[in-house]
């Protein structure tokens, strides 16, 4: 299994970002281009213990923070191996976005949004917002997301530029 697609909206310098990925991906770029923000966004979806709240600085500078603006991160998974991923496949049905007959593709999402008891325009700060992590395109499918997430591990390899320093 691997992350096959990532879509990020209104998160830091990634206002409307989408990328298709293959089984192995390398992320390269100049300082300040969003590499760290990309991984932070993935953590919002994949790590339920990571950052229970976001702040004004987490919104893209091109949007008005709060007041109904949502931060969204959607992650699709593909490449399931039925011989190796049996336990994972048992819970993947709750997250499936591909149709029957197509290769299995699942989706997890994290949305930072106004609490449902408020009008979006009245949500002026962190206390009026919540993070919802869910599976498929169903915001009520939080249990399916939790089960699927328990099988996902994110490993980051340090930058090559740091290797010389790290080896000393």
pLDDT of residue 153: 83
The reported pTM is: 0.91
* Per-residue pLDDT at 6 exceeds 70: yes
- Output the pLDDT for position 26: 83
Q: Is 80 helix (H, G, I), strand (E, B) or coil?
A: coil
User: What is the average per-residue pLDDT within 115-142?
Assistant: 96
Residue 166 confidence (pLDDT): 57
Q: pLDDT of 7-61, one tens digit each?
A: 999 999 999 999 999 998 888 888 889 999 999 999 999 988 887 789 999 999 9
CA 165 to chain centre: 31
The residues pairing with 71 across neighbouring beta strands, listed in sequence order, are: 112
pLDDT at residue 24 in the model:
87
- Tell me the Ramachandran region of residue 18: left when phi exceeds 0, alpha when psi lies from -120 to 50, beta otherwise: beta
44 closest CA partner among 144, 130, 159 = 130
Show the DSSP H helices in the chain as ranges: 35-46, 86-92, 142-149, 163-167
What are the DSSP E strand ranges found in 21-157?
71-78, 106-114, 129-135
Other Cβ atoms less than 10 A from the Cβ of 85: the count is 15
Which has the closest alpha carbon to 43: 123, 128, 108, 105? 108
């Amino acid at each position: 299994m691997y992350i096959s697609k990532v879509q990020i909206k209104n998160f830091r310098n990634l206002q409307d970002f989408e990328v298709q990925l293959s089984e192995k991906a390398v992320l390269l770029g100049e300082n300040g281009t969003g590499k760290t923000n990309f991984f932070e966004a993935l953590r919002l979806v994949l790590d339920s213990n990571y950052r229970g709240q976001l702040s004004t600085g987490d919104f893209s500078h091109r949007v008005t923070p709060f007041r109904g603006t949502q931060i969204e991160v959607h992650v699709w998974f593909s490449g399931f191996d039925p011989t190796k991923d049996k336990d994972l496949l048992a819970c993947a049905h709750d997250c499936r976005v591909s149709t029957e007959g197509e290769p299995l593709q699942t989706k997890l999402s994290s949305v930072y949004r106004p609490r449902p008891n408020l009008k979006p325009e009245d949500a002026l700060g962190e206390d009026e917002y919540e993070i919802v992590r869910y599976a498929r395109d169903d915001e009520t499918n939080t249990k399916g997301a939790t089960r699927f997430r328990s099988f996902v591990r994110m490993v980051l390899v340090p930058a090559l530029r740091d290797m010389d320093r790290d080896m000393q």
